[in-house]
Structure 1
Amino acid sequence: MQANLSNYIPAAAKSMISELLAIDNLVVKVKSERKTRHGDYRELPNGKHQITVNSNLNCYRFLITLIHEIAHFEAYKKHGRFIKPHGKEWKYTFQHLMLPFLRPEIFPSELLPLLAHHFKNPKASSDTDTQLAFALKQFNEVNDKTFVFELSLNQTFKLYNGKVFRKGNKRRKRYECVEVKSGKLYLFNPNAEVELLEE
């Protein structure tokens, strides 16, 4: 298996992933944490195709991300380069690839109903599915990160870039947060991971 992926995915998924990746011109690389994405897919100038996935993801999120990116490759191969990145072709491919993995040998029973619901209409990022993202987070190693929706009103928090914000009210889907230094208003996804500051 490429890039020693067996260290990063649930044991029961290994043989299925090996079959999916038995493609000569597809390379998978495991990368250090990137703050803006869990993984990505792109065609390389030499005609090969590359998938990258962050090394810091727990095994369930790693598996979902890996299949998300394989779906980009498969959709590109079948439908060409002019499809929307997360359009209907990708969604159908992602659903089709993910379905065989939605089994209790691979995912914990508490995740399966949330995954089944999510894959009725998969989004560009599983982070936008608040329930699923929170459930997946329970399998992370302990860290000092908190989701924005877990904070109380007016609590302050810091982003990886050092900027400090104060949490405000929720709009329909996102939270209004004011950058303390500039007073500018920003909208935050409920599942944005931030560092809580002690008051």
Structure 2
Amino acid sequence: MKETLHKYLPERAVIPVMGMVKAYQIQLKIVSQRQSKHGDYRLKPDGYHQITVNSNLNKYRFLVTTIHEVAHLLAFKTYGFSILPHGVEWKQTFQKLMLPFLNPEIFPNDLLPQLARHFKNPTASSDTDAHLSVALKQYDIPNEKNFIFEIPFGSVFQIPNGKKFKKGRRIRKRYECQEINSGKIYVFQPNAEVDLLK
């Protein structure tokens, strides 16, 4: 397990994460990319705690995602399964678990201010925090995709399921975009990654 985690985590995070895996009897599975989520937690019928994390994440997002899922485990264990999945109990648990990792021995200096801001009130996904998402993306393997906020008004783009949209106006933090085939309006986060069509 240690050898595997060295491939996916910042070096100084490996031993603390391994400690959590052992202490809470976690079955940690590294899985193929899923479009809808970076990771998940579930209590299995045999009583084991299973956490899955996508294999394509950069090491900093992999760490944040892993701790996010461990926070679900501990919040449910501490407060019961009637709490909201991303409610106040989970937020407080996530903040406590992340605090020891928020240092320059683990995260680059340019990420630390974004992480510190995010963890004042963590959201259900790091993707819904546009500033953090953009900061984390610079450590991804480069690809040809663009963020919605980067492309010009009126541009046509495609999302992973093949649907095509035309970028519209910004409403608060999000963008209204019209699906080309149906004419329906959908709202996109500014940091949604899309393929710009010529």
Query: Number of aligned pairs?
Result: 198
Is there any run of 5+ residues in structure 1 with no aligned partner, and where? none
> Is 1:181 the counterpart of 2:181 in the alignment?
yes
Q: Residue 58 of structure 1 aligns with which residue? A: 58
Deviates more, 1:128-137 or 1:89-98: 128-137
Q: Residue 118 of structure 1 aligns with which residue? A: 118
Q: Distance in 2 between matches of 1:39 and 1:193?
A: 18
Q: Distance in 2 between matches of 1:195 and 1:44?
A: 38
Report the Cα offset of residue 3 of structure 1. 8.7
Divergent runs of 4+, >6 A: none
- SS of the aligned residue for 1:22 comes to helix
* Structure 1 contact 30–55 (Cα < 8 Å) conserved: yes
> Is 1:130 the counterpart of 2:125 in the alignment?
no
Q: Residue 17 of structure 1 aligns with which residue? A: 17
Deviates more, 1:21-30 or 1:152-161: 21-30
Letter in 1 for 2:33: E
Q: Distance in 2 between matches of 1:75 and 1:9?
A: 23
- SS of the aligned residue for 1:175 comes to strand
Q: Distance in 2 between matches of 1:5 and 1:146?
A: 30
Report the Cα offset of residue 20 of structure 1. 1.4
Q: Distance in 2 between matches of 1:122 and 1:48?
A: 26
Q: Distance in 1 between matches of 2:169 and 2:183?
A: 15
* Structure 2 contact 130–189 (Cα < 8 Å) conserved: no
Q: Note closer, same or farther for the CA distance 1:3–1:41 as it changes in structure 2 (3 Å cut).
A: farther
- SS of the aligned residue for 2:6 comes to helix
Report the Cα offset of residue 24 of structure 1. 5.8
Q: Distance in 2 between matches of 1:75 and 1:161?
A: 34
Alignment of 1:78-93 (within 5 A): 78-93=78-93
Report the Cα offset of residue 26 of structure 1. 1.6
Query: Residues 50-109 of structure 1, C-alpha deviation per residue, up to 9 Å, x if partnerless?
Result: 111100010000000000000000111111111100001100000000000001010000
Report the Cα offset of residue 153 of structure 1. 0.3
Q: Residue 77 of structure 1 aligns with which residue? A: 77
Is there any run of 5+ residues in structure 2 with no aligned partner, and where? none
Q: Residue 68 of structure 1 aligns with which residue? A: 68
Report the Cα offset of residue 149 of structure 1. 1.1
Q: Percent identity?
A: 56
Q: Distance in 2 between matches of 1:178 and 1:75?
A: 39
Q: Note closer, same or farther for the CA distance 1:30–1:166 as it changes in structure 2 (3 Å cut).
A: same
Q: Distance in 2 between matches of 1:15 and 1:49?
A: 19
Report the Cα offset of residue 6 of structure 1. 2.2
Q: Distance in 1 between matches of 2:98 and 2:61?
A: 13
Letter in 2 for 1:181: N
- SS of the aligned residue for 2:56 comes to coil
Root-mean-square deviation (CA, aligned residues, Å) is 1.3
- The two structures have a TM-score, normalised by structure 2, of 0.96
Q: Distance in 2 between matches of 1:150 and 1:86?
A: 29
Query: Residues 98-131 of structure 1, C-alpha deviation per residue, up to 9 Å, x if partnerless?
Result: 0000010100000001100110110101111111
Q: Residue 192 of structure 1 aligns with which residue? A: 192
- The two structures have a TM-score, normalised by structure 1, of 0.96
* Structure 2 contact 169–176 (Cα < 8 Å) conserved: yes
Letter in 1 for 2:125: S
